[in-house]
């Protein structure tokens, strides 16, 4: 503790808050992103303190930022955080300007304060504090600030494609400083039913695609209730399936020959998009046998796998130890309720945990805010983790 304690004392609460406020003021709503605003600000701070920084251009005005402390090479540990934020939604629901980063009752308010600029600010402060304290890592420590997380994990996928490697990683998302070692995956599929048009006065002459689809929707709902709800993962709970979009019909007086739905399926560790899709195909096949006059197709629209790392991974042990060093108690492990960059990193063979300040239930909402006390604690947790890992 004493060797770590010296570095924890270097965390400057005022500087940490300033970094978060500046990041919130850098509007990086995605779309369009404009992450270069946040990246340039972070790069300026790090370069001024003598930490080398690289931009990887993913799209015009939308770079990833990579910084390394210690000698160049594959980092032992990477702090990964995203620079983009979701749109503000209805502005009248906000009690403050979403980009003025106001402080009210010890909390920083604004879009991205929780998701996930609080984590990112704490990560940047960690690098600055370690540099100030003369920390000389025996193995490199990196910061990877990515673009495009909120729209399909574009930034991290790009970095991995370009050869980014790390011994382990921490994804900065709001976990209330709990150590999250698993999250659900997503599969979205489109299902189209095709029938035959007829005059609405003679429905028996056609094949009504909406009526057919209505029956299929109920079968999917029944599958969710009776099969998926009873499947459970210790860390993330049950998988789910729900119909989110339906469209069909041509004219008020025509029997519709086409109806489409979109299905949102959440996967738990152990499930894959292939197995989930084939379960859906089985339901469709049974339905088609009962309704042979309809032609039904499934199309995969989007898939991102679930992920989980073992509790025995070094990164899990070290992250728990870092939280205990700062907060005085072992946080244990749990699962994360949302999707993030962890899946891409784990799939690339990089053991990863999700760990950051803030309450996930405030993310993507009006009046998103982060408690300053927890922000500063996060900077200390990251610092302890860096020292425990890279000394
Ligand atoms: Zn996020």
For residue 338, the SS3 value is: coil
Ligand 1 mean position, distance from CA 336 (Å): 11
Closest among 128, 38, 112 to 386, alpha carbons compared: 128
Ligand 1 mean position, distance from CA 233 (Å): 23
Ligand 1 mean position, distance from CA 74 (Å): 25
Ligand 1 mean position, distance from CA 273 (Å): 22
Ligand 1 mean position, distance from CA 147 (Å): 11
For the chain, domains (ranges, CATH) are 2-183+307-390 (3.40.630.10), 185-304 (3.30.70.360)
Ligand 1 mean position, distance from CA 119 (Å): 9
Give me the pLDDT at residue 1, please: 47
Ligand 1 mean position, distance from CA 80 (Å): 11
Distance CA 230, CA 216 (A): 21
Ligand 1 mean position, distance from CA 221 (Å): 29
Sorted by sequence, the CB contacts under 8 Å of residue 111 that are 6+ apart come out as 24, 29, 85, 86, 88, 98, 99, 368
- Count CA atoms closer than 13 A to 388's CA, side-chain side: 23
Ligand 1 mean position, distance from CA 114 (Å): 8
Ligand 1 mean position, distance from CA 150 (Å): 7
Closest among 119, 31, 39, 24 to 79, alpha carbons compared: 119
Ligand 1 mean position, distance from CA 365 (Å): 12
Residue-by-residue pLDDT tens, the chain, 391 positions: 458 999 999 999 999 999 999 999 999 999 999 999 999 999 999 999 999 999 999 999 999 999 999 999 999 999 999 999 999 999 999 999 999 999 999 999 999 999 999 999 999 999 999 999 999 999 999 999 999 999 989 999 999 999 999 999 999 999 999 999 999 999 999 999 999 999 999 999 999 999 999 999 999 999 999 999 999 999 999 999 999 999 999 999 999 999 999 999 999 999 999 999 999 999 999 999 999 999 999 999 999 889 999 999 999 999 999 999 999 999 999 999 888 999 999 999 999 999 999 999 999 999 999 999 999 999 999 999 999 999 9
Strand order in the sheet with 258-267: 240-248, 258-267, 185-194, 295-304
Provide the β-strand partners of residue 192.
Answer: 260, 297
Residue found by looking up tokens 């969710």 in the block: 224
φ/ψ of 115, rounded to 5, equals: -120, 95
> Residue 330 class from Cβ within 10 Å (0-12 exposed, 13-18 middle, 19+ buried)?
exposed
Ligand 1 mean position, distance from CA 208 (Å): 43
- Cβ atoms of 279 and 223 within 8 Å: the answer is yes
């Amino acid at each position: 503790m004493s060797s770590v304690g010296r570095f924890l004392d270097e965390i400057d609460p005022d500087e940490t808050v300033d970094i978060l406020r500046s990041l919130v003021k850098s509007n990086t709503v995605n779309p369009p992103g404009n992450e270069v605003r946040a990246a340039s600000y972070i790069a300026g701070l790090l370069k001024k303190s003598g930490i080398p920084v690289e931009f990887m251009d993913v799209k015009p005005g939308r770079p990833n930022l990579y910084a390394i402390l210690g000698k160049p090479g594959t980092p032992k540990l990477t702090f990964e955080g995203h620079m983009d934020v979701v749109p503000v939604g209805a502005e009248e629901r906000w009690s403050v300007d979403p980009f003025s980063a106001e402080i009210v009752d010890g909390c920083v308010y604004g879009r991205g304060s929780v998701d996930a600029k609080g984590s990112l600010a704490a990560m940047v402060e960690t690098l600055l504090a370690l540099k100030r304290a003369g920390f000389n890592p025996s193995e490199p420590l990196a910061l990877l600030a990515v673009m495009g997380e909120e729209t399909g994990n574009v930034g991290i996928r790009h970095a991995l494609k370009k050869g980014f490697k790390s011994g382990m990683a921490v994804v900065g998302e709001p976990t209330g400083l709990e150590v999250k070692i698993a999250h659900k995956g997503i599969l979205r599929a489109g299902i189209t039913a095709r029938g035959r048009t007829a005059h609405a006065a003679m429905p028996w002459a056609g094949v009504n695609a909406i009526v057919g689809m209505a029956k299929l929707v109920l079968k999917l709902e029944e599958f969710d209730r009776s099969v998926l709800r009873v499947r459970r993962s210790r860390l993330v709970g049950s998988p789910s399936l729900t119909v989110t979009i339906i469209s069909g019909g041509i004219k008020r007086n025509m029997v519709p020959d086409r109806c489409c739905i979109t299905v949102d399926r959440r996967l738990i560790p152990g499930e894959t998009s292939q197995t989930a899709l084939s379960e859906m195909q089985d339901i469709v096949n049974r339905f088609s046998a009962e309704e042979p006059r309809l032609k039904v197709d499934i199309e995969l629209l989007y898939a991102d796998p679930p992920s989980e790392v073992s509790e025995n991974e070094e990164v899990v042990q070290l992250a728990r130890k870092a939280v205990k060093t700062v907060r005085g108690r072992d946080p244990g492990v749990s699962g994360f309720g949302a999707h993030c960059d962890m899946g891409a990193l784990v799939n690339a063979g990089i053991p990863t945990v999700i760990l950051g300040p803030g309450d996930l239930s405030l993310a993507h909402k009006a009046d998103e805010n982060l408690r300053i006390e927890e922000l500063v604690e996060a900077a200390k947790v990251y610092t302890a983790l860096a020292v425990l890992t890279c000394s």
